[in-house]
Amino acid sequence: MATICSTHCRSYPSLQPVSSPSSKLGHVPQHVTLSSSASKRFLAAKVSLKSQSDSNEVAVHTHQPQQSDGAATAAAVPVDIDTTQKLLNSELLSFTSAEESRAEASSYNNGNESVSITVVGASGDLAKKKIFPALFALYYEDCLPKHFTIFGYARSKMTDAELRTMVSKTLTCRIDKRENCGEKMDEFLKRCFYHSGQYDSQENFAALDKKLKEHENGKASNRLFYLSIPPNIFIDAVKCASSSASSGNGWTRVIVEKPFGRDSESSAALTKSLKQYLREDQIFRIDHYLGKELVENLSVLRFSNLIFEPLWSRQYIRNVQFIFSEDFGTEGRGGYFDNYGIIRDIMQNHLLQILALFAMETPVSLDAEDIRNEKVSSLYILL
């Protein structure tokens, strides 16, 4: 039985081989325990990827035909580290790194520009658990511009201080540099403000626009609206934000959180309606589950792990299981689940995305369209 566990294998974007007495592949932070029995017909292996924050698990069982002498064998083939490193760096590991994000953020710091991030639906479960902690992580890593402001927008009546208290309960220091985390939290919370309003009110969004301008201090304004609200009010919010709170001298972008409609027809109708107020390059569709470390590790495991990449095929994989588990209930999301249900919320978004990442062929490039094309091709074959 071979058990190969990887709890943290995010080695992109650059591979720096670490010298080791026993291996030249020291950059792969994995531990391997191997034992075999000649009486077994198959050599079985279980790969367990566990996120630090949840109990989701992807299990992969591989098999290898029995050799003629009744024993299962494995051979290690030497590789040219320099050549392999260059290949992986250029083709497979060109994800945006923290350094690249900081470099992009510094381009705003050198100019007279500001970025205003408005979380629409700031009092909701997703904003509290995912969006604000993610924004803080970006801030901690110096990936946000110098001049940025975060506004929470929702129907709930709340003050700036109450928003900060709510947000502070969910912020965590998940990064190695922990010595000044408290100071960073305080600085981050000082950038957070709140405005109460209806999602279909032009007047409320106009009032939000006035507050945004006050914090932008005459700088070129770039505005991002993150829609953390149910799909049935997407259009109302986008219409009001576009007409009453969009940037006059910078870019305006909208992040649309899943689910994108209730079915295929409503999804197409949603896209058509969004394009009445926004261009396609202003719309960013997101499934927050893809940002989990577990899922990000899956891509690295598939396309840059020198052990598993050549074995990732039907000749060696016997069984694939996706186990989704949570230790909490609806917690105030009853109205949402009554309308969409757990199947639409989880399976057609999170789990199908993981399935596509797991089964797709290597994309031509890491361009969004190329990755999408490979995902669609794999789903056509599987479904």
Judge contact between 244 and 206, C-beta under 8 A.
yes
Per the annotation, the verdict on 27 as an active-site residue is no
* Furthest CA-CA distance within the chain: 80
Over 174-188, what HEC string results?
Answer: CCCCCCCHHHHHHHH
- Helices marked H in the chain: 81-87, 98-109, 125-126, 132-140, 160-168, 181-190, 202-216, 234-244, 264-274, 293-304, 334-342, 352-359, 368-382
Q: Which entry of 27, 31, 63, 350 is annotated as an active-site residue? A: 350
Phi, psi of 270 (to 5 degrees): -65, -45
Q: How many CB atoms within 10 Å of residue 231? A: 20
Distance CA 257, CA 109 (A): 28
Residues sharing a CB contact under 8 Å with residue 270, sequence separation 6 or more, in sequence order = 231, 234, 235, 260, 261
Q: Are strands 113-120 and 220-227 parallel, antiparallel or unpaired?
A: parallel
H helix intervals, 275-319: 293-304
Q: How far apart are CA 129 and CA 145, in angstroms?
A: 23
CA 233 to chain centre: 23
- Is-contact 194 156, C-beta < 8 A? no
- List, by residue number, the catalytic residues: 350
